[in-house]
Amino acid sequence: MMNRFLPILIFVFSTLCLCSCDSTHQTEILGVKCYELPDSPENTIARWNNLGINTAYVSEDIAENLEFRKLAKASGIDVYLIFPVFYNPEALKADSSLWARTSDGERAKADWVEFVCPSRKDYRASVVEHAKDMVSTLKPDGLSIDFIRHFVFWEMVGPNFDPNRLPDACCCSNCIDGFITETGMALSNEMYSSEEKLWFIQENHSQQWQKYKERLITTMVSDLAQAVKSIKPDTKLNLHAVPWRADDYNGASRTVTCQNLPELSKMVDYISPMCYTHMLYRSAEWVDSLVVDFQKQGVDNVLPCIQVGLSYRSEEFTPEAFDACVTSARKSQVNGLVLWSWEMLAKDLKKQKSIEGIK
């Protein structure tokens, strides 16, 4: 009797398994970063639908546009709020004591890049509260955490850049004293200045100092993740990563940016390296090498972001070169692809053709 129903039972069980797998399947991300809409929300969403774009990483100004949010939701486009953390010119203008400092005592500033000290408890608390307010008010599908690192103008760091010229930050008195308090370190009574304390720490406790600087970043991500999830548990988290492989610039990914990628990847849904080839004088193949390197470090949620238009260079970035970057970014198993930026892609029909087949 049982044998008569066995094929039916196998069929039902197989169907249930397939349904279960389908329910947990995640669509490959085809995303764009967008800071200012070059067209109306209606026309923008229509163009994204035609191109198969299903995820938008947008500025606070765009996220606050109610019409944009309604149209995106109706079209099934996930909206992530781009959320800068330690880059904050407005806060620094209001309170100069917040400046991060390099090891030579200078403000952490290069061109437009201006960084807040990552150890300031008052600032960190304000960032967490702002994230909670934004998530509570705007209810985005995700938070895209940007400038979550120590200071460096990585956009100007090319393949042959001397790692000895990279900045060492933050080395302000607040960070130094915080390290001393956290470690319970006893310094000589003669060491009163921050410069003397920093020299002693770097000479005698460099590894502990490095780990402390990493914790300032890791705990900030953890605090943001917990705060956001407490407001909207299904909020996805994306983290913008500096596009340096583990051994690049003598391991500067850990020693300079202090982004401990294996640890950070456990706290967020996606780690998104900013693979801006043309800006950084890199080949298309470099994108895949970066993805592979991240994966070898234990980061299995890589979401590469590639450059679309010109930035810091006047030489042409051809559609063919862009197409090669798209191919390279998708060569290894990744969670999708993000394009920087929609403002650039919107006016380049030839480059739009490179992503038409990703739908």
- Whole-angstrom CA distances from 151 to 15, 88, 146, 305, 314 are 52, 12, 12, 21, 26
Q: Residue ranges of the domains in the chain?
A: 28-77+269-359, 85-235
Q: Which of 16-25, 264-273, 293-302, 340-349 has the weakest average pLDDT? A: 16-25
Burial class (CB in 10 A: 0-12, 13-18, 19+), 354: buried
* pLDDT (0 to 100) of residue 7: 40
Over residues 18-36, mean pLDDT: 68
In the predicted structure, residue 91 carries a pLDDT above the cut 60 = yes
In the predicted structure, residue 282 carries a pLDDT above the cut 80 = yes
In the predicted structure, residue 206 carries a pLDDT above the cut 80 = yes
Q: Which tokens is 30 given? A: 């085809």
**Which of residues 356 and 227 earns the better pLDDT score?**
227
Average pLDDT in the chain: 92
Q: Which tokens is 197 given? A: 């304390």
359 pLDDT band (50/70/90 cuts)?
low
Over residues 262-291, mean pLDDT: 98
* pLDDT (0 to 100) of residue 189: 58
* Rounded-to-integer distance, Cα 75 and Cα 82, Å: 20
Region 85-235: CATH code:
3.20.20.80
In the predicted structure, residue 265 carries a pLDDT above the cut 80 = yes
* pLDDT (0 to 100) of residue 98: 98
Residue 359: partners with Cβ closer than 8 Å, 6 or more residues away: 30, 51, 52
pLDDT digits 0-9 by tens, 116-151 = 999 999 999 999 999 999 999 999 999 999 999 999
* Rounded-to-integer distance, Cα 140 and Cα 158, Å: 35
In the predicted structure, residue 188 carries a pLDDT above the cut 80 = no
* pLDDT (0 to 100) of residue 356: 86
26 pLDDT band (50/70/90 cuts)?
low
pTM (two decimals): 0.91
Give me the residue label for tokens 């960084």.
Answer: 115
* pLDDT (0 to 100) of residue 358: 82
SS (H, E, C) 297-329: CCCCCECCEEECCCCCCCCCCCHHHHHHHHHHH
* pLDDT (0 to 100) of residue 3: 47
* Rounded-to-integer distance, Cα 158 and Cα 296, Å: 23
11 pLDDT band (50/70/90 cuts)?
very low
* Rounded-to-integer distance, Cα 8 and Cα 105, Å: 75
Over residues 285-308, mean pLDDT: 98
191 pLDDT band (50/70/90 cuts)?
low
Over residues 82-108, mean pLDDT: 98
* pLDDT (0 to 100) of residue 193: 87
Q: Which tokens is 147 given? A: 């400038």
In the predicted structure, residue 1 carries a pLDDT above the cut 50 = no
Q: Is there a contact between 327 and 284 (Cβ–Cβ < 8 Å)?
A: yes
In the predicted structure, residue 256 carries a pLDDT above the cut 60 = yes
* Rounded-to-integer distance, Cα 246 and Cα 292, Å: 11
81 pLDDT band (50/70/90 cuts)?
very high
In the predicted structure, residue 15 carries a pLDDT above the cut 60 = no
